[in-house]
Amino acid sequence: MTHLFNHIFKVPERCLVGQRLTKAFFQRNFSLTSAEKKVLNTAIEQMEILAQVNLEKSNIQAVSNETDSYENILYIRCTVQDNQLETVADKCIQIIQKYIAHQVVLILEDSNDFIINVAEKRINQVDKNKLVVNSIFNTTSISKLYKNDTTEAFFKALDFNGLDKTNLETTYKSYIQAVVQFQVAHTTGTFSKRTQKRTQEDMANLETIEAMETEITSLKSQLSKEKQLNNKVVLNVAIHKKRQEIERIKNKLTII
């Protein structure tokens, strides 16, 4: 790992890998779409497997059943062009999480900032050797140069020594919890470490807020085109109610 990411994750020395992940690996082993090939060849500068946590390297028990597989956690760094991080992040995440058949902690970076991404994956019921991405969780861009109370608390939650290492599933889900709470902190202003159950509730609330904000955008678009005063009133009332509901949900997120 680079000094920065080793400082954050504190993965044990025996788990460090430092192995280049080539574009040729994806091109040779997977049937990429033309859009994926474009992202791979133009947006991504380089990739590296920074570390690997599994039973052999960490003595943490694996979990494998009909629906879930937590046997390897890979920490992958993906470097993109400067000033393009937020523009290409989602596309890069989709490729790496889709095709790497392990649980992945993904760090996307340029020279100044980075994003941490994790994903919930399940075993593909058609091909048991593959994992299917169910949900994706990202931080916003984090500066490499400046830290605040939220990022300090977030980095502490990512510290390997403090993770729930009952097994590799709880270990990986500790990262998901940390990223979700980082998202919550952008709404509440405070990073709080939560239980798994509370994190699930927060995830649902964040998804509801996102959906309602999309609905508000749609309603505002309708409002701008509406000519009838009565219909404008109805649309304004609907927008106001959704904003009130968003504030109510945000208040729920602040409750410890």
The two tokens of residue 217 are: 């955008």
pLDDT at position 1 is: 58
pLDDT tens digits along 113-170: 999 999 999 998 888 778 999 999 999 999 998 889 999 999 999 999 999 999 999 9
Q: In a 3-state reduction of DSSP, which class is residue 150?
A: helix
- pLDDT at position 252, please? 84
Which stretches of the chain score pLDDT less than 50? none
Q: What's residue 256's pLDDT?
A: 66
Q: How many CB atoms lie within 10 A of CB 76?
A: 23
At 214, list the tokens: 């999309």
CA proximity to 173, closest of 249, 63, 99, 12 = 63
Write down the pLDDT at residue 4.
65
> What are the residue boundaries of the structural domains of the chain, listed by start?
3-148, 199-254
Query: pTM score, two decimals?
Result: 0.85
Q: What pLDDT is attached to residue 121?
A: 95
Instruction: Summarize pLDDT for 77-88 with one digit per residue, the tens.
Output: 999 999 999 999
**How deeply is 214 buried, as exposed, middle or buried, from its count of CB atoms within 10 A (0-12, 13-18, 19+)?**
exposed
Give the residue carrying structure tokens 């992958």. 76
Residue type, 147: K
Residue 133 backbone dihedrals phi, psi, to 5 degrees: -75, 125
CA angle 14, 26, 127 (to 5 degrees): 90
